[in-house]
Amino acid sequence: MTAIPARRLNHAVLFVSDINRSVKFWTSALDMRVITQLPQAQAAFLRLTQSANHHDLGLFGLGAEIRKTPDASIGLYHLAWQVDTVDDLAGARQTLIDLGAYVGESSHGATKSIYAKDPDGNEFEVMWMLPHEEWGDFANSVTTERLDLAAELERWAGVPTA
């Protein structure tokens, strides 16, 4: 069997309890805009402002009576949104703190990550990746260590992601 040659996350879909609350959250947390809403389906599709993608996030509201079935239950673990610079990562951290969504941060070697949860408790990651030539030993490994964001900013400010 041949593996699918995927290159990146194209979009993600979340089941949420309150579609309007989730749209407000995601458009506040990330620079997103609503591409289309389908009220009859309790659905919204959002695109990052700087994305060339059709949509980056789909939201489907389950309503107040949340169904817990294999094909419709709240949650997905987790989404990873890549930012261009470590400066953007620091800004994301503050935005998520301001929204009361921040839950942690870590360094995974080649990537630096901030973690948060949306209003339904769906965890997501905002991450910045070192330039490829700087991956070194992390090219084929992942670690989880404390993120020293101040040190990362001092070293990598203004450097675009891989």
Q: Name the packing angle between helices 86-98 and 19-29 (round to 10°).
A: 140
Q: Are residues 129 and 155 in the same domain?
A: yes
* Lowest model confidence (mean pLDDT) among 9-13, 118-122, 144-148: 9-13
- Residue at 4 is within a domain: no
State whether 40 and 116 are in the same domain.
Answer: no
Buried b (16+ CB within 10 A) or exposed e, 2-39: eeeeeeeeeebebbbbbbeebbebbbebbebeeeebee
CATH number of the domain encompassing residue 116: 3.10.180
Same-domain pairing of 140 and 160: yes
Closest CA to 67 of 17, 23, 22, 117: 17
Residue 84 and residue 41 in one domain = no
pLDDT digits (tens, 9 = 90+) for 89-115: 999 999 999 999 999 999 988 889 899
Q: How many domains does the chain have?
A: 2
> Are both 22 and 99 inside the same structural domain?
no
Tokens of 6: 């995927």
pLDDT of residue 78: 67
Residue 72 lies in a domain: no
Domain housing 14: 10-65
Residue 5: pLDDT band with limits 50, 70, 90: low
Same domain, 39 and 88: no
Q: Are residues 59 and 85 in the same domain?
A: no
Confidence of residue 82 (pLDDT cuts 50, 70, 90): confident
Whether residues 105 and 59 fall in one domain:
no
Q: What are the pLDDT digits (tens) for 126-140?
A: 888 889 899 888 876
Q: What is the DSSP string of 79-147?
A: EEEE-SSHHHHHHHHHHHHHTT-EEEEEE-SSEEEEEEE-TT--EEEEEEE--GGG-GGGGG----B--
Per residue in 7-61, pLDDT tens? 567 678 888 989 999 999 999 999 999 988 888 888 898 989 998 777 789 898 9
What residues pair up with 127 in beta bridges, in sequence order?
A: 82, 113
